[in-house]
Amino acid sequence: MRSGRLFRYGEMGADQNDVAVLEQEFAALVARRYCVAVNSGGAALCLALKVLDVQPGDPVLVNGFTLAPVPGAILHAGARPVLVEIGADYVIDCDDLRRRARASGARILLLSHMRGHIADMDAVMGTCDELGLVLVEDCAHALCAKWGGRAIGTFGEAAAFSAQTYKHLNAGEGGFLALDNADRAARAILHSGSYMLHGQHLSAPGPDVIAGWEERTPNFSMRMTALAAALLRPQLRDLPRRVARWNAIHDRIASAIARSQHVRLPPRSPRQRYSATSVQFSLLGFTDGEIAAMLDRCAARGLPIKWFGAGRQRGFTSAPRHWRYAGDQGAMQQTHAILAGLCDIRTPLSLTDEDCDLVAEILREAIETIVSTRAEAGETGRARTG
């Protein structure tokens, strides 16, 4: 702050270049050869598609349970989202993936590990091989997650991460693209806006590789600031402790609410190791009105819960039917049926064990209240007609 060097590149050199060091540290953390730090997770996704040569109008497959910046990144790259249904475990349905890949002729799958729910990566990779699909991973909720011992973010050709406030790392804004291919890394550096100062990168291919792309690669100005990197570097070191605590918070709340017969938690394969910063659950047999009333009761007690089945998009929460800009996707019936009962509780690290128990208690009381109101109404109804 005192030096005023908030831009990642210095005209007089790059001493104290936190962004370059952070890129090296992040690449090591996620086990990829190169990392390019950018200004958002959405920008990292867009860059991933650009360096994979996505052309205007190209179809790009993406699972329908994701956050709006994901179809947004596909459109930003000039391509066309093709949404794929999810199953009851909230992750991509590989049968529908097969259908939509064949129908669209898509070459790329952007797999969003939404809210840290990890698909069966053996099945996904098998399907990608079968169909010749190139995989890009959206790891905005999957930093430090694993499948069968292998780090999420190392399955695809490229992986995008976010450092926006509500993710595992918080710089307010920020993102990372992680990948192994030297030419694609060179192109990502140039696209991100390196002003011919790419010699100041530490996680980068050699200057000859970059030189080959210089005049063919436009500057999109998607850089990370030095200030964001300075905020992120200490958080990176603290990440293992944070992930352990986040998972403990998740497990405590999830196991308490799973005891309700009106709630279903998605099955999780023992092969996945998640790193949860939120808890998701499905309400069983509730009408939209009942869910809205139940969430109002929780909100009145200070517990905000998001609902993917809400009629209108709100805050971070939306569903395929709200993304009219993505073009006609058909009804997406299976996904919307699952999202209709899907609720979401954000779990900040500041929650104590007592807070977790209180969260579960507020939720279970609200559910019981709605269910007993329904039972009384049913009895009154029967009494009247009887």
Ligand X SMILES: *Cc1c(COP(=O)(O)O)cnc(C)c1O
Distance of CA 323 to the CA centre of its chain: 17
Q: Which amino acid is at 306?
A: K
Contacts of 17 (CB under 8 A, 6+ apart): 8, 10, 200, 202, 226
Angular region, 200: left φ>0, alpha ψ -120 to 50, beta rest: alpha
Q: Report which of 261, 301, 311, 302 is spatially closest to residue 281, judged by C-alpha positions.
A: 261
Site residues for ligand X per CB under 6 A: 40-42, 66-67, 69-70, 112, 114, 138, 140-141, 162, 164, 167, 175
* CB nearer ligand X, residue 54 or residue 362: 54
Measured from each CB, the residue nearest to ligand X is 41
* CB nearer ligand X, residue 46 or residue 370: 46
SS (H, E, C) 294-363: HHHHHHHCCCCCEECCCCCCECCECCHHHCHHHCCCCCCHHHHHHHCCEEEEECCCCCCHHHHHHHHHHH
* CB nearer ligand X, residue 27 or residue 143: 143
* Structure token digits, residue 35: 């990392």
* CB nearer ligand X, residue 205 or residue 266: 266
State the minimum distance, in angstroms, from the CB of residue 62 to ligand X.
10
* Structure token digits, residue 343: 């609720």
State the minimum distance, in angstroms, from the CB of residue 234 to ligand X.
20
State the minimum distance, in angstroms, from the CB of residue 222 to ligand X.
11
**What burial letters (b/e) apply to 178-200, b meaning 16+ CB within 10 Å?**
bbebbebbbbbbbbbbbeebbeb
State the minimum distance, in angstroms, from the CB of residue 252 to ligand X.
23
State the minimum distance, in angstroms, from the CB of residue 84 to ligand X.
15
Q: Is 154 exposed, middle or buried (0-12, 13-18, 19+ CB in 10 A)?
A: middle
* CB nearer ligand X, residue 34 or residue 176: 176
State the minimum distance, in angstroms, from the CB of residue 4 to ligand X.
26
* CB nearer ligand X, residue 162 or residue 194: 162
State the minimum distance, in angstroms, from the CB of residue 142 to ligand X.
9
* CB nearer ligand X, residue 47 or residue 70: 70
